[in-house]
C-alpha cells in the first residue's frame, strides 16, 4: 500500500475516522503531542530490556511484528492528527527537515558513522 497511498489520502482517512466520532473537539495540539509521546513510550516498551538480537527475534515473530505495527500506526495517526490541527504540510515538513539534516550531516563527513561529524572522536 505504501506504493499506492498518498500522504493526503492518509490524512483524509485519519480525519474521517476522527470526524465520524466527533473527536476533533479533543484534538488540540497539546493533547495530540502528549498522545504521540505516550504511544512512543508504548513502542519503546516492546524493546525494553531486550538485546538487539532479542529485538530482531521479536520482530520476526508474527505477534511481535503485529504489536510493532499497531504501536507505529498509533504514533503515525497522532502525528497526522497533530499536523492537521496545527496546519502543517507533512510532505513539506519532511522535505525541509531532510534538507536541513543534509546540510547538518554532509554525506562525506557522516557516512557510516553514528558520531556527529563535529565530534573529535568522529572518523570524519
Q: Let me know whether 94 and 124 are in one domain.
A: yes
pLDDT of residue 114: 84
Q: Let me know whether 77 and 112 are in one domain.
A: no
Q: Let me know whether 29 and 82 are in one domain.
A: yes
- Answer positive or negative: Cα dihedral of 6, 75, 90, 100: negative
Residues of the chain with pLDDT under 70: 120-124
Q: Let me know whether 79 and 102 are in one domain.
A: no
Maximum C-alpha span of the chain: 54
pLDDT of residue 113: 86
Q: What total number of domains does the chain contain?
A: 2
C-alpha cell of 73? 500506526
Asked, for residue 98, whether it belongs to a domain, the answer is yes
Q: Let me know whether 22 and 81 are in one domain.
A: yes
Domain residue limits at 57: 7-88
Q: Let me know whether 53 and 37 are in one domain.
A: yes
Cα separation, 86 vs 44, in Å, equals: 26
Amino acid at each position: 500500500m505504501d506504493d499506492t497511498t498518498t500522504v493526503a489520502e492518509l490524512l483524509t482517512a485519519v480525519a474521517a475516522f476522527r470526524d465520524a466520532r466527533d473527536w476533533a473537539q479533543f484534538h488540540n495540539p497539546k493533547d495530540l503531542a502528549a498522545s504521540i509521546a505516550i504511544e512512543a513510550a508504548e513502542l519503546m516498551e516492546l524493546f525494553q530490556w531486550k538485546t538487539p538480537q532479542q529485538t530482531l527475534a521479536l520482530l520476526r515473530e508474527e505477534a511481535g511484528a503485529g504489536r510493532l505495527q499497531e504501536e507505529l500506526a498509533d504514533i503515525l495517526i497522532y502525528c497526522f492528527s497533530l499536523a492537521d490541527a496545527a496546519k502543517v504540510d507533512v510532505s513539506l515538513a519532511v522535505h525541509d527537515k531532510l534538507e536541513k539534516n543534509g546540510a547538518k550531516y554532509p554525506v562525506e563527513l557522516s557516512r557510516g558513522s553514528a558520531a556527529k561529524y563535529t565530534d573529535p572522536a568522529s572518523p570524519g
